[in-house]
Chain A
């Protein structure tokens, strides 16, 4: 008796949950379908990398779960969202498969490609010389810039040349430690373990500025709109999608999706949604090759 009643309740709950999921897919998938109708989907031969993904019906995409606004777990929707996630969705749509987003942290993303856990990595990964030897990169889809974040009511700091004598926070061991020592040698560096400590220090006034990627700084502005970015960029970090070494078929496919994405206006919309509205900047889709990206990163160190 009891068991059957439980089963009935369970069935009811499951039904509701499944109905809820179904609605989600319809609304999410439906919205995308207008931009990429099903007729557009090219069928690839079985046995080729792209054909295998279509066979499986899903593409495993490694994204960051803790880097708003590029890849982060939204507590209100319970889903991973962000700029990288939107790009991954575009690739999956073009292939006519479902995206399966998995968490890829900096340490495990390249191994994930090598062992096949992920087909594609979209996790704020800078294209540099060492990595180019290990994996294939798509053409750069975003160029993150080293910037300076200050309180809006601070008019003393207008750029890197006005940091002299000021307390500037960045993460211990990050590339910005060296960058700041070179570009602002008179700044008083406050090195902490995490960027959340930098944000707290800026808010309580114990530091005057934070310097790191604009991606991380934009995440801070989303938290606290009394902060803004100032000055020119200190460095440039071109991001590329990572693909297993030798899988040029997928690399070329992703390049095609990205260039279409940049040209048909979706890039601008996505940029505005995740970055532009917080930083008052226009989308600048990068138009450089992987080799040029590597050169750009070399200049940062130079």
Chain B
């Protein structure tokens, strides 16, 4: 029995490797989008202008309150029908990236609010501009408190990437590879166990990276 388990991997190794590669690509590109857009929206949310705050709030409420699968339907069949020649990969990473960005923005905002307001006042009165205050004083401290919640979001994003392959996008990611192998060989349990191992490798690496960041920025208490 254990040998049959290993056979399922070795006999379909190229396929599993390709699926793993696709999932890595999806996760990396979505991560870049989520962090970039998330930081921008968080800055809007804490900006002194009420209009920027409203735009940020609208973004968060839209992307956090629409299910990821619905975003996929809007961004792929929806946009294609509207005449935009978007590819399945772009639609997938845009959906996952923008969806996760809403959560990243909220995590960052809570980090900014965790820094005492007195520090902003002190910084402004010392002659720093508002952007300088943010970049030099507030964000470095905010970052430290949000490393852990951001880590949870990244792990959730890695797992959410499995929705992309199973959807109408028909991307051949890791979970999809597991399903294809299962339907072809009828070795259902080994196929899904190996897919799970692939996800555990990714989430494990993410966990290690987060731990390292945490200890690097830790304050000795």
Contact = CB atoms under 8 A, between A and B. Distances in A.
Given A205-B80, A206-B88, A200 B180 contact: no
Contact of A192 (B80, B81, B168, B183): B168
A172 B179 contact: yes
By size class, the interface of chain A is 10 to 19
A177 B183 contact: yes
Interface string A163-192: 000000100110001100000000000111
A204 interface: yes
Given A177-B183, A178-B184, A206-B88, A169 B80 contact: no
Given A173-B183, A206-B88, A197 B80 contact: no
A186 to B, nearest CB: 16
Contacts of B76: 204, 206
A177 B185 CA distance: 12
B45 interface: no
B212 interface: no
Interface string B69-111: 0000000110011000100100000000000000000000000
Contacts of B170: 169, 190-192, 197, 201
Most B-side CB within 10 Å, residue of A190, A200, A204: A204
B57 interface: no
A228 B80 CA distance: 21
A117 to B, nearest CB: 29
From DSSP, what is the main secondary structure of chain A's interface residues?
Answer: mixed
B38 to A, nearest CB: 28
B36 interface: no
Most A-side CB within 10 Å, residue of B166, B168, B176: B168
Contacts of B81: 203-204
Nearest to A171: B183
A212 B88 CA distance: 22
A193 interface: yes
Given A191-B176, A193-B166, A206-B88, A201 B183 contact: no
A169 B179 CA distance: 16
23 contacts: A169-B170, A172-B179, A173-B183, A177-B180, A177-B183, A177-B184, A178-B184, A190-B170, A191-B170, A191-B176, A191-B180, A192-B168, A193-B166, A200-B168, A201-B77, A201-B168, A203-B81, A204-B80, A204-B81, A205-B80, A206-B76, A206-B80, A206-B88
Interface of A: 169, 172-173, 177-178, 190-193, 197, 200-201, 203-206
Given A191-B180, A197-B170, A205-B80, 17 more contacts: A172-B179, A173-B183, A177-B180, A178-B184, A190-B170, A191-B170, A191-B176, A192-B168, A192-B170, A193-B166, A197-B168, A201-B77, A201-B168, A203-B81, A204-B77, A206-B76, A206-B77
